């Protein structure tokens, strides 16, 4: 009998997933294709053969190399196999029809689900299109169904957010539609409220206020991270965040609107001069990659846009605040010092070792006594693990991440896999062996780890279902790249330090390679060409005076109510998204606001009764506090 009660009762079969070609074999194939033309080109340069003869021989050698490479790819070991070869005893046995639940549709969730859906069969419950052609048996596929749950119907590639805020890339081109790419998966737009792994089910709050439970056999935990909130008075009400496409668009519109507002103020009196200076002062909290990249792109955009609206770029004031002793902890100290100097030469005030005291009343106060009146405060001060992880019965590391092995399996749960910003994965390249060691030997929350962890995770899920050995995640960081504005960048690659446009070109090339789907890559390249030829468009399409990004519901910062009798409508873009702060509000024995309550039964349409209290059956199994595996 199958260990999965929903799976068809069929005898064990051999896995249809054969061994893939190794990276070394692929490299040798490519070098073999290029070897012949390269040798002939060298002979032509040396003058041993004529140019026309060399050209003819080069074409013949190139054609022969391509034919040889094609034969290797289509007929070599681990390549595309015919129906007769799929049944070969090569990889072990498994039970087909496993349900896979992917929590999170970010980069890790999208790439993992995309790789898993290639193994998806057509003998499931009929919800999948099953466009994949070929004779791979639908009943012997290890993956029976894939469900992806995320509050957003798209994935956002966050390393390109600064360029979206700066106007080099259209914001929508940083997103990838989950339903379009995962066309054979069940994509649920909702928030996972809690996970009961003991019963293998997850509670999902949907956008219409209802909730549902999703069962699974294999769980992939990739909820990502959320912005870290600083306990500073006034910061939550006044600051702009920088984590989503909406944040990047709002920041761009806000900065451009401050320039337009300042151009309308004539400094004829001291008060008007102070108003103008306040409008043209911008403060960025956080000196890591996110804060420095956002500051570099926005500062470059603002200086170019200021000339068009009649503002002297010398009037702009930019302040970067970092509480630690230096900026950019992701790079070495000499490189960080060089970046510090370049920012200072651009007129940016870099204040390190300066703690933030308050941001009330439009005035930023630092611990060293500095007072900065400003209309713009941007918070890019790091992230923290998604609060969802604390509402599960999975073992957590002391920082709130899920404890994993090097195979990306959660410790003590062989059927649960995790990767990305919410997973404490040991970095084998630095000698780590356990997930609960010092955080310095865990993989950093960077794009290059997310790219590779997602692919290893998908392969390990299939190997787990097929009864085959799992592969450990091992990646030695090749370096880091970052953009500092138009044609400015910084890079550290295996001890080599680059600044300026070479580093900026590497930054763009790497992230363009990591961007999912060819269609999105093409759109981004077209955006770059348009921005290079025509310049960035300095138009703010949002409101001239944007509302605060957070704290809209607080009585102290809420706008005055409208005088009309029309009822107030919720803020645009908030429907269907469950705020983690709202989820964390009630206790675990109170009903979640998005759950239906018994008092709603029989309520006429259009009325909404108040919340009720008492035990919530769907969450009664969950105890308070973090869980740890013993």
The closest alpha carbon to 245, from 253, 237, 236, belongs to 253
Domain membership of residue 366 (yes or no) is yes
Dihedral angle at the C-alpha atoms of 522, 524, 528, 529, nearest 10 degrees?
20
Determine contact, residues 434/412, Cβ cutoff 8 Å.
no
Where residue 157 sits, what CATH number does that domain have? 3.50.50.60
Residues 123 and 223 both lie in one domain: yes
**Most trustworthy range by pLDDT among 93-107, 220-234, 592-606:** 220-234
Domain membership of residue 573 (yes or no) is no
33/110 Cα distance (integer angstroms)? 33
Residue 160 belongs to domain spanning:
94-227+385-466
Q: What is the pLDDT of residue 245?
A: 92
- Between 53-62, 100-109, 238-247, the lowest mean confidence (pLDDT) is in 53-62
Q: What is the pLDDT of residue 77?
A: 36
Q: Please say if the pLDDT value at position 277 is more than 90.
A: yes
What are the phi and psi torsion angles at 442 (to 5°)? -100, 155
pTM of the model: 0.70
**Higher-confidence residue: 125 or 158?**
158
Residues 359 and 495 both lie in one domain: yes
343/488 Cα distance (integer angstroms)? 11
Residues 178 and 137 both lie in one domain: yes
Q: Please say if the pLDDT value at position 109 is more than 90.
A: yes
**What average pLDDT does the segment 285-308 reach?**
91
Query: What HEC string does 423-479 produce?
Result: EECECHHHCCCCCCCCHHHECCCCHHHHHHHHHHHHHHHHHHHHCCCCCCCCCCCCE
Q: What is the pLDDT of residue 540?
A: 76
Number of domains in the chain: 3
pLDDT band for position 297 (cuts 50, 70, 90): very high
Burial profile 538-567: b = 16 or more Cβ within 10 angstroms, e = fewer: bebeeeeebeebbbeeeeeeeeeeeeeeee
Residues 209 and 115 both lie in one domain: yes
**What average pLDDT does the segment 81-101 reach?**
49
Domain membership of residue 542 (yes or no) is no
The average confidence (pLDDT) of the chain is 76
Residues 71 and 185 both lie in one domain: no
Residues 351 and 497 both lie in one domain: yes
Domain membership of residue 28 (yes or no) is yes
Residues 170 and 284 both lie in one domain: no
**What average pLDDT does the segment 279-302 reach?**
92
530/549 Cα distance (integer angstroms)? 30
Residues 370 and 507 both lie in one domain: yes
- The two three-digit tokens of residue 411, written as one number: 């410790």
Beta bridge partners of 150: 189
**Most trustworthy range by pLDDT among 32-41, 116-125, 514-523, 550-559:** 514-523
Residues 187 and 100 both lie in one domain: yes
Domain membership of residue 402 (yes or no) is yes
**What average pLDDT does the segment 102-121 reach?**
88
Domain membership of residue 572 (yes or no) is no
pLDDT band for position 504 (cuts 50, 70, 90): very high
Domain membership of residue 547 (yes or no) is no
pLDDT band for position 493 (cuts 50, 70, 90): confident
Q: Which residues contact 89 (CB under 8 A, 6 or more apart)?
A: 14
Determine contact, residues 193/391, Cβ cutoff 8 Å.
yes
Q: What is the pLDDT of residue 441?
A: 82
350-400 pLDDT tens trace:
999 888 999 998 899 999 889 999 999 999 988 889 999 999 999 998 889
Domain membership of residue 72 (yes or no) is yes
Q: Please say if the pLDDT value at position 60 is more than 80.
A: no
In eight-state DSSP terms, residue 153 is S
Beta bridge partners of 479: 493
Burial profile 417-444: b = 16 or more Cβ within 10 angstroms, e = fewer: bbbbbbbbbbbbeeebeebbbeeebbbe
550-605 pLDDT tens trace:
444 343 434 444 444 444 444 433 434 444 444 443 333 334 344 344 433 344 44
Residues 209 and 175 both lie in one domain: yes
Residue at which a domain ends, from 466, 497, 524: 466
- Between 24-28, 210-214, 339-343, the lowest mean confidence (pLDDT) is in 24-28
Residues 40 and 187 both lie in one domain: no
Please state whether beta strands 413-418 and 409-410 pair in parallel, antiparallel, or not at all (unpaired). Answer: antiparallel
**What average pLDDT does the segment 114-143 reach?**
55
Determine contact, residues 217/143, Cβ cutoff 8 Å.
no
Q: What is the pLDDT of residue 272?
A: 92
Please list the alpha-helical segments (H only) found in 105-151. 107-116
Residue at which a domain ends, from 534, 551, 570: 534
Q: Roughly how many angstroms between the first and final C-alpha of the chain, as a whole number?
A: 31
C-alpha separations of 487 from 168, 503, 573 in Å: 11, 9, 34
Q: Please say if the pLDDT value at position 627 is more than 50.
A: no
Q: What is the pLDDT of residue 541?
A: 75
pLDDT band for position 434 (cuts 50, 70, 90): low
Residue at which a domain ends, from 440, 466, 492: 466
Determine contact, residues 227/580, Cβ cutoff 8 Å.
no
Q: Which residues contact 517 (CB under 8 A, 6 or more apart)?
A: 176, 181
108/457 Cα distance (integer angstroms)? 9
- Between 154-168, 293-307, 467-481, 615-629, the lowest mean confidence (pLDDT) is in 615-629
Residues 272 and 339 both lie in one domain: yes
Where residue 506 sits, what CATH number does that domain have? 3.50.50.100
Q: Please say if the pLDDT value at position 303 is more than 80.
A: yes
165-218 pLDDT tens trace:
999 999 999 999 999 999 889 999 999 999 999 999 999 999 888 999 999 999
């Amino acid at each position: 009998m199958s260990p999965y009660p929903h799976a068809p009762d069929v005898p064990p079969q051999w896995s249809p997933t054969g061994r893939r070609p190794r990276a070394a074999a692929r490299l040798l194939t490519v070098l073999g294709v290029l070897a012949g033309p390269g040798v002939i080109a060298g002979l032509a340069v040396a003058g041993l053969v004529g140019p026309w003869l060399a050209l003819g021989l080069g074409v013949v050698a190139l054609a022969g190399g391509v034919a040889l490479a094609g034969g290797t790819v289509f007929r070599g070991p681990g390549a595309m196999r015919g129906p007769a070869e799929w049944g070969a005893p090569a990889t072990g046995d498994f039970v087909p029809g496993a349900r896979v639940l992917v929590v999170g549709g970010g980069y890790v969730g999208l790439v993992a689900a995309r790789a898993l859906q290639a193994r998806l069969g057509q003998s499931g419950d009929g919800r999948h299109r099953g466009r994949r052609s070929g004779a791979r048996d639908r009943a012997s596929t290890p993956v029976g169904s894939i469900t992806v749950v995320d509050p957003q119907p798209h994935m956002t590639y966050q390393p390109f957010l600064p360029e979206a805020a700066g106007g080099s890339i259209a914001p929508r081109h940083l997103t990838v539609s989950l339903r379009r790419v995962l066309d054979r998966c069940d994509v649920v737009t909702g928030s996972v409220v809690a996970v009961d792994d003991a019963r293998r089910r997850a509670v999902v709050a949907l956008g219409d206020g209802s909730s549902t439970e999703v069962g699974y056999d294999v769980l992939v935990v990739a909820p990502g991270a959320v912005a870290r909130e600083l306990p500073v008075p006034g910061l939550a009400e006044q600051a702009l965040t920088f984590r989503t496409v909406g944040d990047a668009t709002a920041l761009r519109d806000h900065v451009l609107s401050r320039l337009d507002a300042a151009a309308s103020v004539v400094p004829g009196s001291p008060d008007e001069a102070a108003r103008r200076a306040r409008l043209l002062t911008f403060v960025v909290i956080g000196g890591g990659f996110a804060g420095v990249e956002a500051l570099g792109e926005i500062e470059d955009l603002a200086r170019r846009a200021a000339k068009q609206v009649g503002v002297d770029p010398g009037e702009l004031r930019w302040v970067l605040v970092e509480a630690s002793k230096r900026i950019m902890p992701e790079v070495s100290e000499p490189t960080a010092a060089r970046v510090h100097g370049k920012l200072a030469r651009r007129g940016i005030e870099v204040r390190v070792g300066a703690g933030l005291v308050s941001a009330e009343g439009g005035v930023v106060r630092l611990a060293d006594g500095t007072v900065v009146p400003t209309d713009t405060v941007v918070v890019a001060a790091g992230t923290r693990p998604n609060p969802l992880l604390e509402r599960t019965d999975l073992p957590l590391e002391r920082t709130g991440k899920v404890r994993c092995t090097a195979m990306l399996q959660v410790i003590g749960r062989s059927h649960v896999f995790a990767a990305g910003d919410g997973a404490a994965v040991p970095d084998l390249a630095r000698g780590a062996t356990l997930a609960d060691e010092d955080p310095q030997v865990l993989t950093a929350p960077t794009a290059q780890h997310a790219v590779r962890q997602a692919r290893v995770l998908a392969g390990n899920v299939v190997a787990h279902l097929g009864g085959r050995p799992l592969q450990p995640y091992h990646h030695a960081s090749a370096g880091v790249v970052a953009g500092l504005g138009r044609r400015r960048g910084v890079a550290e690659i295996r001890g080599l330090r680059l600044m300026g446009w070479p580093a900026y070109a590497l930054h763009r090339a790497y992230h363009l390679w990591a961007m999912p789907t060819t269609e999105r890559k093409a759109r981004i390249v077209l955006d770059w060409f348009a921005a290079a030829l025509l310049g960035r468009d300095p138009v703010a399409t949002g409101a001239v005076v944007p509302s605060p990004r957070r704290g809209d519901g607080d009585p102290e910062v809420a706008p005055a109510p409208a005088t009309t009798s029309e009822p107030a409508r919720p803020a645009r873009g908030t429907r269907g998204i469950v705020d983690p702060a709202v989820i964390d509000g009630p206790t675990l024995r109170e009903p979640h606001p998005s759950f239906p309550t018994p008092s709603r039964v029989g309520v006429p349409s259009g009325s909404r009764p108040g919340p009720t209290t008492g035990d919530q059956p769907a969450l009664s199994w969950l105890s308070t506090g973090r869980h740890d595996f013993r």
